[in-house]
Structure 1
């Protein structure tokens, strides 16, 4: 087992080797779901003026006053009007309008009645000076920090960008990724299948795992266990993509050519074989142009486990995304492996206190992927001899 790299070391080496993906400006309407790569500050104080909170009238308040004369209307989106001098005048105001000059109080529409141009306060209503006004700068001052680089743009962040005049936000470029399955035994989902063949599934699973994180620029390719064809096609993939993810051909078989081909193409091997199960034959390297190359085992559970546990976090890190680990609680006991990290598929649920529970769904073998459809991802069990009881906290990675 001495030739197996500990999981923590593999993670560290991957992060150290990854080069950040470029930054690009995109139209605001195309920025949703992208990784923000700039800090955002308030364009001006918010609100930028004393804002009327609800429909009603704006007045210069005087204690015990109960009637006013309507002198005009302050609509939203228009320059401020000036309240007539004295305390008898009132201006009708709309929600979101600027507070008229000379006014200091807003009285809601339901708190007064109108008789011609005279507005009479309803009985039992006691306005207070300054009520129903959102003061200028109450939310934030001009220049205040609003968004940090390294987050995914969701609806609230999109609103912040728009409200602060950022029409071309800087985001991480979406890398082009070649997703390649290797093996003479693989046939397409719609092709006739012989008894000695299997339908290819790894590339679809890996592509879906990447796409759900916004990594949608993909090329899917299936290659035979042929040294010449592998060399030609992998060379083309390295020349035309920002990252390459392979499955199959990395173990100890006579036709596992992938490590040999990658070395011949000038890909620097960072490591091969990690102390983890499933996924021990995992290979990682860096191409001549700095592109990451992930070569995953061909067994479907191993491939998807390595993708979720290594490939996805590495690519998101290169995009500048800052995601904290997600922790869950075991819903049932699990036994770790003494000499290596163990990945266990789980189904998520919640207890009556709202805590996220992970229900173990261990597979019988790394090829037993048909039951993965009932699971949400995997948990990581560090090496050890002591069984983990229900309630133990573990790190979760979604498929």
Structure 2
């Protein structure tokens, strides 16, 4: 039996072996949530003209002390630029319009009073040069770098792309993923249960965890505990898909055929078995054409823990997606651990009166007990060394 890897060593081996999935160009309207893989520069100065920021009147402040202005024109948003020919007059303006030529300030409509064709400034109001004017190029200049590769395209980034005429965006390609459930005992969600059967849930849980983190090209597959069937199914998937996530069949039982099938198909084993609980039997390897294979334990808690701790961060890193940083929490009560294994314990997190993040351990009865997980927010990682972690222990928290 090979020596168990530490969690840190397993994480490093996975990170070093992961491929890069390349890039693709997508329409702007399909780019939300993707990771940018190009430099985006300003198409022109922004704003491209001196922009009016308030409804009101535009005047020239060179007419010192003048309080009464005849309206000589109108400048609406979207109109070509008007000109103030007479400094004794004003031009009525709206928010977003170009500042008329010859004007250097905007007086908000609230600071004026209409008297026929004239505008009177409010008593005591003194206009200043440049007020309520968004100067041309004050946000950015033509050619300035606005977005860098690696940025997640959210609302603000999409706005920048649209405002600068980017209709197609180069983004990180998202890999095709198939989640494979193994086991003779598994029945479909909509199938009647026979004696000895359970409904498959790991594949749905793993697919959901992937989807909520931005991976949407996901398929589900199922294979029985049979070497020939397992090998044939995996061979086809390796031919057509970039990432395989298996659940079950990865331990050392007499019907655990996944490692042998992968070896026969030329998938290079990077690691197998980690000094952790749950999830010790986890397997990871790289296929002949760079396919990625995560073979997770079949127990539901083990599968989800391994997915959150290894699978999801690895795929997020390979595609440029920023993974949620784990945070430090304080254990609210003692919990059993192990001198030899890293322990992952489901917890519920809240903040105390000082704002400190506190974790209440809710360990499942076994690694197959997933019914209690909805009452938790994630799990903490407790390093080996002691038989238990006392209340007050600081631990790293990972969200489901």
TM bucket by the smaller chain? over 0.9
Q: Deviation at 1:243?
A: 0.4
Q: What is the alpha-carbon distance in structure 2 between the residues aligned to residue 352 and residue 92 of structure 1?
A: 54
Q: What is the alpha-carbon distance in structure 2 between the residues aligned to residue 149 and residue 359 of structure 1?
A: 39
Q: What is the alpha-carbon distance in structure 2 between the residues aligned to residue 178 and residue 324 of structure 1?
A: 23
Deviations 1:49-83 (A, max 9, x none): 21111100000013321011111011112221111
1:149 alignment counterpart:
149
Q: What is the alpha-carbon distance in structure 2 between the residues aligned to residue 370 and residue 35 of structure 1?
A: 35
1:96 alignment counterpart:
96
Q: What is the alpha-carbon distance in structure 2 between the residues aligned to residue 350 and residue 206 of structure 1?
A: 29
Contact 1:247 1:303 in 2 (8 A): yes
Contact 2:350 2:358 in 1 (8 A): yes
Contact 1:20 1:320 in 2 (8 A): no
Contact 1:325 1:396 in 2 (8 A): no
Q: What is the alpha-carbon distance in structure 2 between the residues aligned to residue 386 and residue 248 of structure 1?
A: 29
Q: Deviation at 1:2?
A: 6.9
Q: What is the alpha-carbon distance in structure 2 between the residues aligned to residue 80 and residue 208 of structure 1?
A: 53
Q: What is the alpha-carbon distance in structure 2 between the residues aligned to residue 64 and residue 16 of structure 1?
A: 72
**Aligned to 2:372, what secondary structure does the other structure show?**
helix
TM-score normalized by structure 1?
Answer: 0.94
The structure-2 alpha-carbon separation of the partners of 1:193 and 1:22, relative to structure 1 and needing over 3 Å to count, comes to: same
**Aligned to 2:156, what secondary structure does the other structure show?**
helix
2:134 alignment counterpart:
134
**Aligned to 1:169, what secondary structure does the other structure show?**
strand
Q: What is the alpha-carbon distance in structure 2 between the residues aligned to residue 334 and residue 239 of structure 1?
A: 48
The structure-2 alpha-carbon separation of the partners of 1:247 and 1:323, relative to structure 1 and needing over 3 Å to count, comes to: closer
Q: What is the alpha-carbon distance in structure 2 between the residues aligned to residue 358 and residue 156 of structure 1?
A: 34
Contact 2:210 2:312 in 1 (8 A): yes
Question: Is 148-157 or 49-58 further displaced after alignment?
Answer: 148-157
1:210 alignment counterpart:
210
Contact 1:328 1:357 in 2 (8 A): no
Aligned length: 398
2:289 alignment counterpart:
289
**Aligned to 2:12, what secondary structure does the other structure show?**
helix
Contact 1:347 1:361 in 2 (8 A): yes
Q: What is the alpha-carbon distance in structure 2 between the residues aligned to residue 77 and residue 344 of structure 1?
A: 60
Q: What is the alpha-carbon distance in structure 2 between the residues aligned to residue 296 and residue 128 of structure 1?
A: 68
2:364 alignment counterpart:
363
The structure-2 alpha-carbon separation of the partners of 1:73 and 1:356, relative to structure 1 and needing over 3 Å to count, comes to: farther
1:385 alignment counterpart:
386
Q: What is the alpha-carbon distance in structure 2 between the residues aligned to residue 131 and residue 170 of structure 1?
A: 40
Q: What is the alpha-carbon distance in structure 1 between the residues aligned to residue 324 and residue 203 of structure 2?
A: 27
Question: What is the CA RMSD across the aligned residues, in angstroms?
Answer: 1.9
Contact 2:57 2:107 in 1 (8 A): yes
Deviations 1:226-252 (A, max 9, x none): 111111111001111010000101111
1:20 alignment counterpart:
20
1:234 alignment counterpart:
234
TM-score normalized by structure 2?
Answer: 0.94
Contact 1:39 1:147 in 2 (8 A): yes
Q: What is the alpha-carbon distance in structure 1 between the residues aligned to residue 298 and residue 78 of structure 2?
A: 62
